[in-house]
Structure 1
């Protein structure tokens, strides 16, 4: 086999693989969009809150439902005594609705 023939064969196979990767990515995006809309509808129907990442304190379990001062309910200058409180930020909520 000539070198030019093997080069064209490798080039054609590479282009075919690239086309298949593109089609697969488009298929996955379409499938992911339908799953995302299904999950969004399920969350609305079940009235679920945000993801529970930590189990220590209620202001780290439900970040969107906690106020920014809930970690300091015992005393205004109380230190954070849960390790997960240092890993999370307070939820950003709008006061104007």
Structure 2
């Protein structure tokens, strides 16, 4: 019974995906024609700071740039801030940990 239900759910997932593909096909073709006509590449607002580029082009880690106290070397850092997950404060561990001795 459970296996049949899972099988039906998998079929429904693929059917929903196919339906969305068919529905959005005209919009995707129009966007593709516009990109070809204008000669566009991936969105790139700025080329310096890795967090100001498009996420598909940004590297996940750069040495000496991910430290919370690292200075921003690029002027675009004053225009676009880093992603929110990089600005979250870390939890204070003082007094919460014990020494093994």
- TM-score, with normalisation over the residues of structure 1? 0.37
> Greater CA radius of gyration, 1 or 2?
1
- TM-score, with normalisation over the residues of structure 2? 0.36
Structure ranking higher in helix proportion: 1
